[in-house]
Amino acid sequence: MAQLSFRSRAHRRLVAETVARSRRLPVRKNTVLYEANSGRGAVCNPEAIFRALMAAPDMSHLKHLWVLEEDCLNDPIVAEFEKAKNVRFIEYKSLEYYYALGTAGYLVNNSTFPPELSKRPEQTYINTWHGTPLKRMGYDVEALAAVRAA
């Protein structure tokens, strides 16, 4: 097995420490974290929920955190909401991301969060599942099932 570089080991350590520290902090009950397709854009059902909450006058107390990959931090939605005081965009898998996962009161995703997330009892996890549950995934796809059977 190849050894990890010092940089990779240091980053893993920082992530582990950030996750552990964030779990000792209070959950921010008015903070909503949104992630769609592992940060590949502010899209799909999480975007619809975000826009509905932003438009609702009785939800103006909420703080919104959007998770985006570095390449997506220049998406049009960033410019659209750059002046909103209650909206921030954070980079996927950054230390700020892991901190937010551990402290946000609401977690909204259309796929899944990384294994570092261990939902706390005070958090609400809303998974909107991108697509339809009737589609085929993994070994349910015939080509993959044939490979598995071989």
What are the tens digits of pLDDT across the range 86-136?
A: 999 999 999 999 999 999 999 999 988 998 889 999 999 999 987 666 666
| Number of separate domains in the chain | 1
Flag whether 33 is in a domain.
yes
Range of the domain at 45: 6-131
* Confidence at residue 107, expressed as pLDDT on a 0 to 100 scale: 98
Flag whether 54 is in a domain.
yes
What are the tens digits of pLDDT across the range 17-47?
A: 999 999 999 999 999 999 999 999 999 999 9
Flag whether 145 is in a domain.
no
Flag whether 147 is in a domain.
no
CATH number of the domain that 71 lies in? Answer: 3.40.50.11820
Flag whether 144 is in a domain.
no
How many Å separate Cα 60 from the centre of its chain? 21
| pTM, full prediction | 0.83
Flag whether 150 is in a domain.
no
What are the tens digits of pLDDT across the range 71-88?
A: 999 999 999 999 999 999
Confidence of residue 4 (pLDDT cuts 50, 70, 90): confident
Does the pLDDT of residue 137 top 70, yes or no? no
Flag whether 137 is in a domain.
no
